[in-house]
Structure 1
Amino acid sequence: MQIDSTNICERLCNKSIRDISWLLNIPRSTVSGIITKWKQLGTTATQSPSGRPRHMTERGQRMLKRTVRRSRQLSAESIAKDLQTPCGLQNSTTTVRRELHGMGSHGREAASKLYITKCNALDAMV
């Protein structure tokens, strides 16, 4: 919001909209819109974010992450049930999966690795 306050300060210093847009290298329509908004509302704050609010709060996300770290083998259904009891969060399994996916936790099996014997290790070194 630095551009907004700069525009207002410039306007208060009796500069024209054209001069302000040239100084800040932004379109005249943007400068004019900000000044108009300032005159009407007294502020240049933006509107509240659009879209539906997230169902799981930050606290719920932290608890989910902690639960998954404790036992990584749990299913999404059991995690959702575990979160319901202590803190009263009513989240579906889909929400739990979506949040875990967003945190970077994916339900994948570990890669199978061969057992390295002394013979295998010696062959690799040669």
Structure 2
Amino acid sequence: MKNKEHTRQVRDTVVKKFKAGFGYKKISQALNIPRSTVQAIILKWKEYQTTANLPIPGRISKLSAHTRRRLIRDAAKRPMITLDELQRSTAEVGDSVHRTTISRILHKSGLYGRVARRK
């Protein structure tokens, strides 16, 4: 789950107070935000010289956490469901992904063998 981001104005105020000589505790009490948050804002400012939101590292997941949980739930509920059926059900939700992606997600959660058995 994503944490709440503070506004750019709040982060700028934290840095301004830090430059003025205030400590972490004083800044935290003045702005009513946790000391650890003040510390994180200042450390980020020292490293990158900016208070702007930096881009998220790495590739963004194609499936949301909600869709991922739904896939795992469907596969666990019906052991004989095929990857093609799971693929169609995710496409109905609006996320079109390849069968290999679905297989990879299920493997990470410990579910294997998504092909229906011959009768």
Higher relative contact order (CA 8 A, sep 6+): 2
The alignment's TM-score, normalised by the length of structure 1, stands at: 0.47
Instruction: Give the TM-score normalised by structure 2.
Output: 0.49
